[in-house]
Structure 1
Amino acid sequence: MSRRMLLKGGTVYTGRGDDVIYSGFVEIFDGVIGRVGAVRDLTSTFDGDVVDTTGKTVMPGIIDTHMHVFHEPQMLRLSEGAAALWGANYVQSALRAGVTTMRDLGAQSGAVFGLRKALSEGYVVGPRYLVAGKAICMTGGHGWANLSAEADGEDAIRLLARQQIKLGADVIKVMASGGAGTPGELPTQAQLSMNEIRAAVEVAHDAGKPVAAHALANEGIMRAVEAGVDTIEHGVFLDDRAIELMLKRDVALCPTISVYPRIINRGPAGGESAFVIEKSKPLVAPHIESLRAAVAAGVRIVFGTDATTLYNPVGDFSDEMDLMVKAGMSPVEVMRSATGTAAEICGVSHLVGVLETGKLADVLVVDGDATRNIAALSDTFLVLKDGRSVYGKGDGYRNAALTAEPVLKADLSR
């Protein structure tokens, strides 16, 4: 396809509020969004490729704000170069599903920074990739065995946060409570003191970076919100006090509501440890109730899957969206959580997240009307990244547009 494209005739969700245009169009010029509007307002012949999107939904590319590419301890068996090469192939599967931006909230391997650099500089084609590096936990805290670095005390926390930023972190992740995935901890256990979390927040915010807090236990949630974090991840045991405080501080919730059902239902076949499966079972009911309460109260909800493993792969987001609807969100609200809201949370709203003039053309087209049936988002028709077609229905596993830029470019000045 040329660099001039018109997507015409479909239901257009812009990513901003509840803004849906039925029988709409989106113009794309050289990788950037041009006009967006109703087909009836088109007044001239378009000079470029015209894609008929009648019967389809056109929306910004999906932003998954919580996932992990380099999660498993087995990654340490690979060199960082080999791990990054594996990661590049892995994230392309998410791109083909329509995930054009991903935020990695904790990695076992330093390869996360190599992959970030390769993707951002075009040496590998894949989603826009934002990373935390290693998450920060207390000694023996959540994720110490597979995605976190341990530190105790405010100065040690500051040092770790600064080290991750030095390496290229886009966000700082703190572990404010226990979880299901680490030996010797309880999901109801608060971890890191408020002052320790605040130390990480001060370092991150001074550098213009957001802070995401893994927090299941209500006390951990309260400490994290009081300390100034930007998002609560999971929020399994939210109570009215925590919800009120989140509303007061405008702290968003990334529920990852599908993660524990997937651990229970898919984990045994995927090789998940028995203790993780057992610890996940009591979390399912309070987790969905917490999300229902947060949605009803008006807490900002942002989309994230906690994807990582074979049984919870990146780009497989249908369960998450279905459960968000069951918790009281409309399909359009779910779509907003994965587009405009997600872009704001990740600090990339100046680039992507909404379909409006001047934004980069990260676009997902699906068959059906996703504004009425969220399941339609799993029926991918076309994916554009920076205006380039990186997946089209019928393309199969690969697409020629996934070809990367050469690392060494010719010097044409000689």
Structure 2
Amino acid sequence: MNLRQLIDASEGVVKADRVITGGTLVNVCTGEVYPADVAITGDRIAATGDVTAYIGEHTEIVDATGKHLVPGLIDGHLHLECSKLSPTMFADAVVRYGTTSVISGLDQILVVAGVDGVREALREAEQSPMKIFWGAPFKTPYTLPETTVGFNFGPAEHEETQDWADCYGVWETVAEFVLNRDPDVLRALELAHRNRLPVFGCAPMASSTTINALSAAGIRLDHESYTAEEALEKLRAGMYLLIRESSVAHFLNENVKTVTKFGAQSRRVGFCTDDMHVADILREGHLDKLVRMAIQAGVKPIEAIQMATVNCAEMYRIDHLVGSITPGRYADVLIIDSPESFQVERVFSRGVLAAENGRTVTAPAAPERSAALSPAFQVPELAASAIGIAAAGDSAEVLVVEMDRTVPFVRTRLDLTLPVKGGVVRADVAQDALYCTVSERYGKTGATATAMINGFGLRSGAIASSAAPDDNNIVCVGANREDMALAVNHLAAAGGGQIVVENGEIKEFLPLPVAGIVADIVPEEMAAAEDRLEAAARALGCELPSAFGYLIFLEITAIPDYAVTDLGVISYHTQSVVDTVLTSR
């Protein structure tokens, strides 16, 4: 719909395609709740209130008597690829719960399939009931020191993509790159300032000086606060705050205290899910769940709804398109029972009924995939004997990466004495010291790095995944080197997936053929596969809340204290590869 047509529709010159009548409008712009009808023409809202003049001979009447009308929900920061669903299938999973817009960098597709892959994913989303507002990743890879990815993204790519009509900012600017004055990143931020694009941040466990520096650099918002105090400090420094509640990182009840305990203005606070398992979405909902959680935590219903709608739209400067039920915006309208209980009954996206009673009205149909989204894995066959850390003597004191069981993603250090056989440090199941490997998949180095890791609790077998932000190399944890080699080699040959192996037998395997990280399967099928994988990992002895949820994030170097990449064990504090053999004897 062009501007002239939009004005005609909003003046009533062109009659509405449909009118939602009898409902009570939740006006997130004013904080009011009052009876009002909504006129929709094409994919936009034409008018609200008394819309009698907009009803024509062919106008469809939608009865919402006794119900409330709220805007479509906006996920303020989402790696949709971490769901392991393609954009089409992910839309089917979340639209049924009222999520009609997401902010995403599609960075996992980018590092595998490049700019062409991102374009293809954005075109795909245009055919779904879920809009993707894309932010150009600040730089790839995100890792310090730089690891191996399929495609690097730097200033030249920013020069191109920041001019795209569907680029809405700079995505997930990791704090360390700003603090290091990385010239490529500073150039990306300078371009964003020139182009009047917002810059999105990523600063977990940030100090006061870090927060000051990021605010000065123009970081507009952040989604990585581990405490309410940290979140409040970011708000006080002029940033907007996104409260995250993901499948693994449960921070809503903590960070919502910025509003309920410290009295911060809720209008600068939004919601995001970051990374979601499909099984969790189907069991508990998506952003609608966050709205209910916030209300239960003491946030007023209208404020919780604003956090999930207009607040996100305003912080990303897309409130002229989404976030409210007002003239000219996309006709993303939810019919719910009440603001207090917030149960989504019907979902209109772009003016069309997209979901009703927890189901989408049209079965999702994935598009044909180009070669860009089907790259072959170029991983040399991994031999079991190649897995291990070289050491002399009969034993060695080794730096073991330790999973923090209470704070998601955080990895600390545990020094253990481990056996050495044949010049290689061996796993010790009794001490929960397992092998961890990362195998480069793009054919650039052919390297497989080995570390020792504690916290997974496997007594036997191995688990592995080719969906592993931020690089999507193949990450594997195991108690048995032969099982690990089988797992890695199977994923490489199959073109990607997640797998559980024990005693030379594949117990569970989920193919992820699209870029080696997502699949074109319906959400229910993905949820069942996730449950089977987790059950198989538990059968090996894993007691983490989510074996694969913790596994896939081992490569992220932006979270203290240690990461494992294709280069080896990385220290967050020194941003360098560390030697893990401390002494041998």
Q: What is the aligned partner in structure 1 of residue 473 from structure 2? A: none
> CA–CA distance in 2 between the matches of 1:299 and 1:26?
24
Task: Give 1:386 deviation, angstroms.
Answer: 2.1
Q: What is the aligned partner in structure 2 of residue 275 from structure 1? A: none
> CA–CA distance in 2 between the matches of 1:252 and 1:235?
12
Does 1:204 pair with 2:192? yes
Would the alpha carbon gap of residues 393 and 289 (structure 1) be closer, same or farther in structure 2, given more than 3 Å must change? closer
Q: Are the counterparts in 2 of residues 131 and 169 from structure 1 also a CA contact under 8 Å? A: yes
Q: What is the aligned partner in structure 1 of residue 124 from structure 2? A: 118
Q: Are the counterparts in 2 of residues 302 and 338 from structure 1 also a CA contact under 8 Å? A: yes
Q: What is the aligned partner in structure 1 of residue 352 from structure 2? A: 388
Q: Which residue among 3, 18, 22 is the counterpart of 1:5?
A: 18
Q: How many residues align?
A: 340
Q: Which has the larger radius of gyration?
A: 2
Q: 1:132 aligns to what SS in structure 2?
A: strand
Q: 2:74 aligns to what SS in structure 1?
A: strand
Once the two structures are superposed, the pairs formed by residues 195-344 of structure 1 within 5 Å of their partners are 195-196=181-182, 199-219=187-207, 220-237=210-227, 239=229, 243=232, 246-247=235-236, 249=238, 251-256=239-244, 258-259=245-246, 262-263=247-248, 287-290=255-258, 292=260, 295-296=263-264, 300-313=268-281, 316-344=286-314
Would the alpha carbon gap of residues 404 and 7 (structure 1) be closer, same or farther in structure 2, given more than 3 Å must change? farther
Does 1:399 pair with 2:411? no
Superimposed CA distance per residue, residues 279-311 of structure 1 (whole angstroms, 9 cap, x where no aligned partner): x68x78754545645653556112222243335
Q: Which residue among 37, 45, 50 is the counterpart of 2:49?
A: 37
Q: Scaled by the length of structure 2, what TM-score is found?
A: 0.50
Task: Give 1:253 deviation, angstroms.
Answer: 0.3
Does 1:58 pair with 2:61? no
> CA–CA distance in 1 between the matches of 2:145 and 2:91?
25
> CA–CA distance in 2 between the matches of 1:252 and 1:290?
12
Task: Give 1:147 deviation, angstroms.
Answer: 12
Q: Are the counterparts in 1 of residues 243 and 252 from structure 2 also a CA contact under 8 Å? A: no
Q: What is the aligned partner in structure 2 of residue 185 from structure 1? A: none
> CA–CA distance in 1 between the matches of 2:199 and 2:145?
16
Task: Give 1:116 deviation, angstroms.
Answer: 0.9
> CA–CA distance in 2 between the matches of 1:108 and 1:136?
12
> CA–CA distance in 2 between the matches of 1:319 and 1:147?
36
Q: What is the aligned partner in structure 1 of residue 37 from structure 2? A: 25
Would the alpha carbon gap of residues 94 and 369 (structure 1) be closer, same or farther in structure 2, given more than 3 Å must change? same
Q: 2:345 aligns to what SS in structure 1?
A: strand
Q: Are the counterparts in 2 of residues 221 and 232 from structure 1 also a CA contact under 8 Å? A: no
Q: 1:255 aligns to what SS in structure 2?
A: strand
Q: Which residue among 131, 134, 140 is the counterpart of 1:131?
A: 134
Would the alpha carbon gap of residues 135 and 195 (structure 1) be closer, same or farther in structure 2, given more than 3 Å must change? closer
Would the alpha carbon gap of residues 332 and 25 (structure 1) be closer, same or farther in structure 2, given more than 3 Å must change? same
> CA–CA distance in 1 between the matches of 2:54 and 2:167?
46
Q: What is the aligned partner in structure 1 of residue 94 from structure 2? A: 94
> CA–CA distance in 1 between the matches of 2:332 and 2:267?
27
Does 1:361 pair with 2:331? yes
Would the alpha carbon gap of residues 224 and 313 (structure 1) be closer, same or farther in structure 2, given more than 3 Å must change? farther
Q: 1:171 aligns to what SS in structure 2?
A: strand
> CA–CA distance in 1 between the matches of 2:21 and 2:189?
45
Superimposed CA distance per residue, residues 50-90 of structure 1 (whole angstroms, 9 cap, x where no aligned partner): 22212211122111111112237xx7xxxxxxx8xx32222
> CA–CA distance in 1 between the matches of 2:323 and 2:222?
20
Would the alpha carbon gap of residues 87 and 403 (structure 1) be closer, same or farther in structure 2, given more than 3 Å must change? closer
> CA–CA distance in 1 between the matches of 2:271 and 2:91?
17
> CA–CA distance in 2 between the matches of 1:141 and 1:57?
48
Q: 2:45 aligns to what SS in structure 1?
A: strand
> CA–CA distance in 2 between the matches of 1:404 and 1:200?
33
Task: Give 1:18 deviation, angstroms.
Answer: 0.3
> CA–CA distance in 1 between the matches of 2:150 and 2:317?
23
- The amino acid that maps onto 1:6 is V
Q: Scaled by the length of structure 1, what TM-score is found?
A: 0.68
Would the alpha carbon gap of residues 404 and 88 (structure 1) be closer, same or farther in structure 2, given more than 3 Å must change? closer
> CA–CA distance in 2 between the matches of 1:127 and 1:319?
18
> CA–CA distance in 2 between the matches of 1:16 and 1:248?
24
> CA–CA distance in 1 between the matches of 2:279 and 2:32?
34
Which protein is richer in strand relative to its size? 2
Task: Give 1:94 deviation, angstroms.
Answer: 1.9
Task: Give 1:355 deviation, angstroms.
Answer: 1.6
Aligned-residue RMSD, C-alpha: 4.0
Q: Are the counterparts in 1 of residues 252 and 294 from structure 2 also a CA contact under 8 Å? A: no
Q: What is the aligned partner in structure 1 of residue 162 from structure 2? A: 165
Q: What is the aligned partner in structure 1 of residue 179 from structure 2? A: 193
Would the alpha carbon gap of residues 203 and 125 (structure 1) be closer, same or farther in structure 2, given more than 3 Å must change? same
Q: What is the aligned partner in structure 1 of residue 103 from structure 2? A: 103
**Relative contact order higher in (CA < 8 Å, ≥ 6 apart):** 1
> CA–CA distance in 1 between the matches of 2:240 and 2:167?
20
Q: What is the aligned partner in structure 2 of residue 14 from structure 1? A: 27
Superimposed CA distance per residue, residues 377-413 of structure 1 (whole angstroms, 9 cap, x where no aligned partner): xx3322222212222338x54428x7899xxxxxxxx
Q: What is the aligned partner in structure 1 of residue 506 from structure 2? A: none
- The amino acid that maps onto 1:174 is E
Q: Are the counterparts in 1 of residues 91 and 128 from structure 2 also a CA contact under 8 Å? A: no
Q: Which runs of 5+ in 2 are unaligned?
A: 1-14, 111-116, 368-585
Task: Give 1:193 deviation, angstroms.
Answer: 0.3
> CA–CA distance in 2 between the matches of 1:303 and 1:91?
18
- The amino acid that maps onto 1:13 is V
Q: 2:222 aligns to what SS in structure 1?
A: strand
Which protein is richer in helix relative to its size? 1
Q: 1:306 aligns to what SS in structure 2?
A: coil
Q: What is the aligned partner in structure 1 of residue 317 from structure 2? A: 347
Would the alpha carbon gap of residues 290 and 312 (structure 1) be closer, same or farther in structure 2, given more than 3 Å must change? farther
Would the alpha carbon gap of residues 320 and 34 (structure 1) be closer, same or farther in structure 2, given more than 3 Å must change? same
> CA–CA distance in 2 between the matches of 1:236 and 1:224?
17
Once the two structures are superposed, the pairs formed by residues 59-74 of structure 1 within 5 Å of their partners are 59-71=70-82
Would the alpha carbon gap of residues 222 and 239 (structure 1) be closer, same or farther in structure 2, given more than 3 Å must change? farther
